[in-house]
A and B are shown apart, each in its own frame.
Chain A
């Protein structure tokens, strides 16, 4: 009854009901509010909370893609212990993250320093550096699949023309080279975003801080180390978290560029979850690994929240 009234006022004329008592008005407004947010809540409930609960439920079952499910308790979690592929993929993902994150931070910071000031032409360069970020991972990966191909790609031709290499490099032949090729693509594609974060961080530092430092006779390097970097702590923490979370979830670039090769040494955790669930059809096991991945990422997010809180209190 109340809901009906609320919906009537939502679609009808609210003005005609102005005489209603303050309490019923508040109730009506509460109902309108709930109605307004209900579509969003419905989406989140059906496509987020249900899968979230289902994931935990599935992880406790033998849950083939087709056919009957059966309860196996913590069996899937126990199986993870004796699954060498899971540990290898987790190790590789962590290693990839540990390589990509510092590169993105250092290069992103460098680019931000380069284009932080407003001057002629700076808008063009900012746009160019940032542009690859809007390309999808899949398309960018296929672009690099071609670019790094030792036969038809132009990377090797250019490297040779510049005298950096003497013959085409078989980029996907070893684990290190394949990883390097993926890192190259990721840096090209995402460093513009890191640059942007640092630009906004740098602009958050009041100018008089620098001026005070230079009045005190501090050199450029000292100012940078003692003044700028400490003030950028929040930005750096944020950048690290975003890079870490993004890299821990890497899939597209490895699925497309390396295909897990050579000898499945470039398999990431999400790739292995995908394989377990949708190639081997062990959905229960895939769900169990997803739970573990989720816990890892929530810990990272918790660290993020802790770091940001620390900053605001300071």
Chain B
């Protein structure tokens, strides 16, 4: 009796020893964290992988988007992070710099399709010449407009605005038609939304908000293009061309005004197309690039990178998932087909862009766009208490443009200096 018990115990210990942690039925279980913005498509991706890979199972955890950086950072620091994480590209510099992500440089360069990847994703996933994440999902900001409202205001929907003055003009014309219609909408209390949809206005005019290398960055809010762009938004607000809900919208209700069919112009990205099609199929949609002050265009090339945590015991299995998820077939079927811009140029232009005018534009803008690169992106921009949000609030709604810029410039310098 005792011997049997001993053998069973020994077998158990051996099995546990061989299998290692996270193993079941001889297979491997990987944990994957993703932000809630991706819930529309990520479950489909994970299910497909689990179906085709019986020996590797992915366990998906969706993290509320506003807590992602915090949760992931603290988990990794405390040694309880996931094997894989789908990380917003704006946060990649922070995690790449901190040394918690596995270096994927060598493996990535062996991929036959490496040159097809979106440049902006690769740039933001790199630190000090090493690559810590691969492109996962793509997104780009463009200006959407309601063609019916354009027509009703006597505007030609085939001739969308190409300068800020034209945006104001068109917004005025739409607002003038009455019936509660308004020309333009943006979430006034949402740093993440503004960096995606407002910053490109500055870029398109030749300005920027940060400069310098990753380790010696400084803010450049005093550039004239920043003040001009703030004045442009303030004008829209002061002329009552923007719904009154804007100042208090922290992004949670950003689609509501445009979905109501009463707002003519609204800037968002690829994920917005899906939302708009589902929630407001009656709103006739067209899109145009975000223009600069006097012409030119720009776009924020966003989306997520997929990264492996350095402490994961399943580097090989995690890489298998990355290889699979960046393959042409998967990017086509589980990303492109559900409206997410594929992060490979070949896939995007072969399968995604031809579907319609809006997709074509989104693909163009993604591959021409850029992103913000800073290890302090969260504190500078996305943080609801941060200088970016405060500046927009003071400048756009209160009209204190000069002082708002001055305060934000000094607050951003302070953030970049301290630690």
Contact = CB atoms under 8 A, between A and B. Distances in A.
Contacts, number: 90
Given A82-B410, A278-B70, A282-B418, A262 B248 contact: yes
Given A264-B384, A280-B378, A84 B390 contact: yes
Interface stretch (A13-21, A62-70, A295-303): A62-70
Contact of A285 (B95, B97, B189, B418): B418
Nearest to A283: B419
A12 to B, nearest CB: 38
Contacts of B387: 84
A76 to B, nearest CB: 5
For A82, A262, A276, the residue with the greatest tally of chain B CB atoms inside 10 Å of its CB is A82
Interface string A62-94: 111111101010011011001111000000000
Interface residues of A, number: 35
A74 B266 CA distance: 45
Nearest to A61: B419
A281 interface: yes
Contact of B77 (A66, A70, A78, A83): A66
Interface string B186-209: 000100000000000000000000
Interface in A224-266: 260, 262-264
A7 interface: no
B123 interface: no
For A66, A76, A280, A285, the residue with the greatest tally of chain B CB atoms inside 10 Å of its CB is A280
A64 B69 contact: no
Interface string B397-418: 0000000000100110111011
B44 interface: no
B396 interface: no
A275 interface: yes
For B100, B378, B411, the residue with the greatest tally of chain A CB atoms inside 10 Å of its CB is B411
Chain B interface size band reads: 20 to 34
Contact of A75 (B76, B189, B418): B418
A279 interface: yes
A129 interface: no
A273 interface: no
B251 interface: no
A62 B77 CA distance: 16
A284 interface: yes
B379 A282 contact: yes
A263 B385 CA distance: 8
For B376, B390, B415, the residue with the greatest tally of chain A CB atoms inside 10 Å of its CB is B415
A67 B70 contact: no
Contacts of B378: 279-281
A82 B419 contact: no
Nearest to B410: A82
A191 interface: no
B329 to A, nearest CB: 35
Main secondary structure of the interface of A (DSSP, over half): mixed
A281 B94 contact: yes
B201 to A, nearest CB: 23
Contacts of A64: 98, 419
Contacts of A198: none
A195 B232 CA distance: 57
Contact of A67 (B97, B386, B407): B97
B393 interface: yes
A193 to B, nearest CB: 32
B74 interface: yes
B164 to A, nearest CB: 26
Contact of A275 (B248, B385, B413): B385
A65 B76 CA distance: 10
B379 A67 contact: no
B26 interface: no
A280 B379 contact: yes
A179 interface: no
A82 B98 contact: no
Contacts of B376: 280
Nearest to A173: B248
B405 to A, nearest CB: 13
B419 A282 contact: yes
A251 to B, nearest CB: 15
B419 A66 contact: no
A85 B393 CA distance: 14
A307 to B, nearest CB: 36
Contacts of B383: 275, 279-280
Contacts of B77: 65-66
B248 A62 contact: no
Nearest to A76: B418
Given A66-B73, A278-B74, A284-B419, A264 B414 contact: no
Given A61-B419, A66-B73, A267-B385, A82 B95 contact: no
Contacts of B386: 85
B99 interface: yes
A13 to B, nearest CB: 40
Nearest to B99: A67
A144 interface: no
B76 A72 contact: no
A66 B411 contact: no
Contacts of B73: 65-66, 281
A82 B414 contact: yes
A76 B74 CA distance: 22
Nearest to B390: A84
For A62, A78, A279, A282, the residue with the greatest tally of chain B CB atoms inside 10 Å of its CB is A279
Interface in B24-74: 69-70, 73-74
A197 B262 CA distance: 60
A272 interface: yes
B419 A83 contact: no
A62 B419 contact: yes
Nearest to B411: A84
8 contacts: A66-B77, A66-B98, A67-B98, A85-B386, A263-B248, A276-B379, A278-B74, A281-B73
Which 4 A-B pairs have CB atoms at the shortest separation, nearest pair first?
Answer: A62-B419, A66-B98, A67-B98, A79-B418
Given A62-B418, A66-B100, A280-B376, 12 more contacts: A65-B77, A66-B77, A66-B98, A66-B99, A68-B99, A70-B419, A83-B414, A85-B411, A264-B390, A278-B70, A280-B379, A283-B419
